[in-house]
Amino acid sequence: MSKFVPFAHAKSLYEIDPEFFKSNGVTTLFVDLDNTLDSYKCHSPSDNAKELIKKLKEAGLDAVIISNNRYKRVLPYAKELGVDFMSSTGKPFPRKINKYVLEKGLNKENIMVVGDQLMTDTLAGNRAKIRVVLTEKIVKEDQPTTHFNRIFDRPIRKHLRKKGLLVDWKDKYGTR
The amino acid occupying position 5 is V
Q: At what angle do helices 71-81 and 47-58 cross, to 10 degrees?
A: 60
Number of chain positions touching Mg ion (CB under 5 A): 5
- Beta-bridged to residue 111, according to DSSP, are 28
Shortest spacing between CB 72 and Mg ion, in angstroms: 17
Interaction with Mg ion in 151-170: which residues (CB under 5 A)? none
Using DSSP's 3-state secondary structure scheme, residue 8 falls into strand
Residue 23 — φ and ψ, nearest 5°? -70, -15
Q: Which residue of 8, 32, 91, 130 would you call a contact of Mg ion, by CB under 5 A? A: 32
Q: How far is the C-alpha of 68 from the C-alpha of 97, rounded, in Å? A: 11
A 10 A CB-CB count for 174 gives: 10
According to DSSP H, which parts of the chain are helical?
18-23, 47-58, 71-81, 95-104, 123-127, 144-162
Between 13 and 56, CB nearer to Mg ion:
13
Q: Is 38 in the site for Mg ion (CB under 5 A)?
A: no
Between 36 and 122, name the residue whose CB sits nearer to Mg ion. 36
In the complex, minimum distance from the CB of residue 143 to Mg ion, in angstroms, rounded to a whole number: 8
Contact with Mg ion (CB under 5 A) among 16, 20, 34, 122: 34
Kindly tell me which of 62 and 116 has the beta carbon lying closer to Mg ion.
116
The answer to whether 10 and 168 are in contact (CB under 8 A) is yes
User: Which range in 36-44, 47-55, 91-99, 128-136 contacts Mg ion by CB under 5 A?
Assistant: 36-44
Find the binder of Mg ion among 10, 21, 24, 35 (CB under 5 A): 35
Site string for Mg ion, 100-129 (x = CB under 5 A): ----------------x-------------
* Rounded to 5°, angle at Cα 120 from 117 and 125: 100
Q: Which residues bind Mg ion (CB under 5 A)?
A: 32, 34-36, 116
